[in-house]
Amino acid sequence: MTAGGRPPTTGPDRSSVHRPASGRRVGMLLALGVFLLAPITAEYLTGYDNTVGQPLELLGGLLILGPLYGAPALIIREVVRRTGRGWPSILLLGLAFGVVQAGLVDQSLFNTSYRDIDYWDDMMWPTYIPVLGISAYNAMTFLMGHMVSSIGAPIAVVESLAPRRRTTPWLGPIGLGVAGLLYVAASVLVYDDHVKTEQFHASAGQLVGATAVVVGLVVTAFLVGRRPRPRVDRRVPPAWLAGVLSAVALNGAVMLAPTWLAVAVTLVPTAGLAVLVARWSRSDRWSPGHVLALAAGALLAQAAVAFTVDPLGDVALVLKLAHNVILGLGVAGLITAGALALRRSRRGSCPEAPGRDRADA
């Protein structure tokens, strides 16, 4: 009995009852963040389409682009986090998604006159590889773009907003199933539009080859990181420098013509950065802030380059500039919020656990 003569409370602690529900809500909000941010960074941030500066059309486009980009980003993120793997797996699966999207769904990877875009010939033929039926420049641009802008960067930004949930699952089986159905539905719509509106269709050999590449990337993604690598005491650069290197490596050839020189100027620094990051990420000094900085460098450089892009169709200059400024500032704001959240987490009383969860790269 208590001092007042009442029996002690034996029911469950209300805070513990509410905590799982609160955790689910946070997970759903984070999942929604990836679902919406992925199409924005994949399509809208560059501002190349004729919907630039048209808010209602851009919002309406999310009904297709959300499932097309956001759903696979969520699925990749959830599968990797549930299986205890890290960023190499996310990026490899992002690359596989790029091959699916550009090689199997809209087939822009093989198309020699996609959507009758007037500058398509300039992108296609200078680096055309006849035996594969692809442009090396287009393949590099499309696949790296999907890996970074469609998958990797939006996941990194949203994960930074909730550091304690950064490597935990956000969705249950039902949520994952819904995401999968949404992606399949959106892909079918895009493929159906391709069949009805494009004269070009990839050959059976191209489709089989693309499928084989996808399978190889997926298998590799699940083989990578099965055993946690031991941490070492190794110096790493400050996060801001990692971001600068990311921006330069991924966008170094943006002002060059789409030739083999542009391919080399992009792939060589990017490969070098990948080697450096693989080395740095084994250090116990590597942090989630470095991961966010790599994503920030890629996205902010993309936002800056967007000012030089001529949209398809007749888009007023003031609308184009407003589009570039608003989306650029929006992405910069999310990155800033993520950096502040990570800083608060580091200063908090509950430091991140050691091992894979600490660096996760």
Output the pLDDT for position 8. 45
* 188-243 pLDDT per residue, tens: 999 999 999 988 999 999 999 999 999 999 999 999 877 777 888 899 999 999 99
Residue 160 has pLDDT above 90, yes or no: yes
Residue 349 has pLDDT above 50, yes or no: no
Q: Is residue 16 part of a domain?
A: no
Q: Is residue 95 part of a domain?
A: yes
Query: What mean pLDDT is predicted for residues 306-318?
Result: 92
What is the CA 63 to chain-centroid distance, rounded? 18
Q: Is residue 206 part of a domain?
A: yes
Q: Please give the structure tokens belonging to residue 218.
A: 């997926």
Contacts of 283 (CB under 8 A, 6+ apart): 231, 232, 233, 234, 235, 236, 359
Banded model confidence at residue 347, pLDDT cuts 50, 70, 90: confident
Output the pLDDT for position 39. 98
Query: What mean pLDDT is predicted for residues 269-294?
Result: 96
Quick one: DSSP state of residue 56? H
Cβ pair 14, 48 in contact under 8 A: no
3-state secondary structure of 128: strand
Tell me the residue range of the domain where 138 lies. Answer: 25-359
First-to-final CA distance of the chain: 54
Q: Is residue 15 part of a domain?
A: no
What is the tally of helices (H) and strands (E) in the chain? 14, 2
Q: Is residue 65 part of a domain?
A: yes
What total of structural domains would you count in the chain? 1
d(CA 243, CA 245): 5
DSSP string covering 157-220: HHHHHSGGGTTS----HHHHHHHHHHHHHHHHHHHHHHHHH-S----HHHHHHHHHHHHHHHHH
Q: Is residue 13 part of a domain?
A: no
d(CA 291, CA 303): 19
Residue 1 has pLDDT above 80, yes or no: no
* 70-98 pLDDT per residue, tens: 999 999 999 999 999 999 999 999 999 99
Length of the chain: 361
Q: What is the pTM of this model?
A: 0.90
* 23-37 pLDDT per residue, tens: 789 999 999 999 999
Output the pLDDT for position 355. 40
Query: What mean pLDDT is predicted for residues 299-309?
Result: 96
Output the pLDDT for position 254. 86
Output the pLDDT for position 28. 95
Output the pLDDT for position 360. 59
Residues 253, 254, 257, 259: is their CA dihedral positive or negative?
positive
Give the CA diameter of the chain: 89
Q: Is residue 353 part of a domain?
A: yes
Output the pLDDT for position 20. 62
Contacts of 157 (CB under 8 A, 6+ apart): 37, 292, 295, 296, 299, 331, 334, 335, 338
Q: Is residue 20 part of a domain?
A: no
3-state secondary structure of 118: coil
